[in-house]
Amino acid sequence: MKRLLALLATGASVVGLTALAGPPAQAAAGCSVEYTVTSQWSGGFQAGVKVTNLGDPVSGWTLGFTMPDAGQKVVQGWNATWSQSGSAVTADGVDWNRTLSTGASADLGFVGSFTGSNPAPASFALNGVTCTGSVTDPPTDPPTDPPATGTPVAVNGQLHVCGVHLCNQYDRPVQLRGMSTHGIQWFGQCYGDEALDALADDWKSDLLRIAMYVQEDGYETDPAGFTGRVNALVDEAEARGMYAVIDFHTLTPGDPNYNLDRAKTFFASVAARNADKNNVIYEIANEPNGVSWAAVKNYAEQVIPVIRAADPDAVVIVGTRGWSSLGVSDGSNESEVVDNPVNATNIMYAFHFYAASHKDAYRSTVSRAAAKLPLFVSEFGTVSATGGGAVDRASSTAWLDLLDQLKIGYANWTYSDADEGSAAFRPGTCNGTDYSGSGVLTESGALLKSRISTPDNFPTS
């Protein structure tokens, strides 16, 4: 796997995200910038920068500004190539946001340090032109619809795929944000009433992904029992107005065809039982690995008709090659799916990432693929691909910002108290009743809760 993360050292030194060389920057006729310090601690802070092009379209851009205090340094940035010399800071667009049409915005940010005070920069320049406009100026277009009220399912109803987007009952694109269970054979105690109430009411999650392992003491050991557990969690999600992603969690062996007969039996049962519900999404193969895309496609084209026979309207998510990386982790890319898509309608393709392991090359793939394929990030972690290690806050934020920009839904791994960095809760939390207090959250859990609990914007007209 090639990594495009690079250390850039210019003057004071800074960590940046490198990009492929693009066309030379063009002059910008006008721009506006929103600079927000999203969090601050002793000697450090995190800032978000939203730049909006108010002039002619540009196919390459550099944003420049000056740090007001000599002690302020950019340490690590995302969604741009960041550099700093003395107090002068520059951020160059990367491949997925290099082109800015008139009115288009790029969301970037950085983690910084400071030794004295931490004032905001006084001015910004886009391609050498000072940004004097304001995104708070009165819009020339009619305002968008106010956010709808009600639970995610009550507002959006039965979902379907339209173009490359997941759309609601009003045929408008929506982004679902939520959490995945860990294996329900191991962490069933994490999915009682208190935990699910907190997920829906306090975390304000749109969905619960129900990870039912097939092997590893899972479905194959007790098909009827695991089918019943999945159906019960679908009901619990429905009662709280959340969507339920039924995940047939194949991992080892990596060829989903190994479990083809089990998949047909399982999905025939759950589809027939849940066909009248409008909160169910079917994920038919978690992370195919060590297998060709042709083999995955063959599996999908045999399982999807089984679901359609009972539940013709529900969205189906198809796993992709290389642990659902669209083939990137196997040295391929999205073209194999674009050129040879699954022969079915109302489907999406899974993309999984772990932020500390999967960075620019993977983000570039998603950015390109999202223009051609309906994507759903049905699993991701803030840590390494092992599920452990430290949270990579910068890469996680870059990923979440990109998914928000592209309106791609996601489920974070995991809503559990597993003793690993990816878990949302500290070990032992699921033996109690508190799933909301800051004391029970891990660093990953706190980050995800802060992102998921922000208001949804579900359009209704």
User: Taking a C-beta distance cutoff of 8 angstroms, is the pair 153, 242 a contact?
Assistant: yes
User: Taking a C-beta distance cutoff of 8 angstroms, is the pair 123, 130 a contact?
Assistant: yes
- Residue 331 in tokens: 């040295």
Return the residue matching tokens 């915005």. 105
* CA-based R_g, the chain, Å: 22
Q: Could you count the other beta carbons within 10 Å of the beta carbon of residue 119? A: 12
Q: How many helices (H) and strands (E) does the chain have?
A: 10, 21
- Residue 460 in tokens: 């209704």
Return the residue matching tokens 């660093």. 443
Return the residue matching tokens 């010399």. 85
Q: Of 51, 18, 25, nearest to 127 (Cα)?
A: 25
Q: Of 151, 152, 153, 166, nearest to 315 (Cα)?
A: 166
| 50 contacts: CB under 8 Å, gap ≥ 6 | 33, 34, 36, 105, 106, 107, 108, 135
Return the residue matching tokens 């009115």. 103
Q: Which of 287, 334, 336, 420 is catalytic?
A: 287
Q: What is the DSSP string of 226-249?
A: HHHHHHHHHHHHHHTT-EEEEEEE
Query: Could you tell me which residues are beta bridge partners of residue 245?
Result: 209, 281
Amino acid at 292: S
CA atoms within 13 Å, Cβ hemisphere of 31? 30
Helix, strand, or coil (residue 297): helix
Return the residue matching tokens 């302020």. 72
CA-based torsion, 379, 383, 384, 387: positive or negative: negative
- Catalytic residue status for 194: no
Whole-angstrom Cα distance, residue 234 to residue 213?
16
List, by residue number, the catalytic residues. Answer: 287, 379
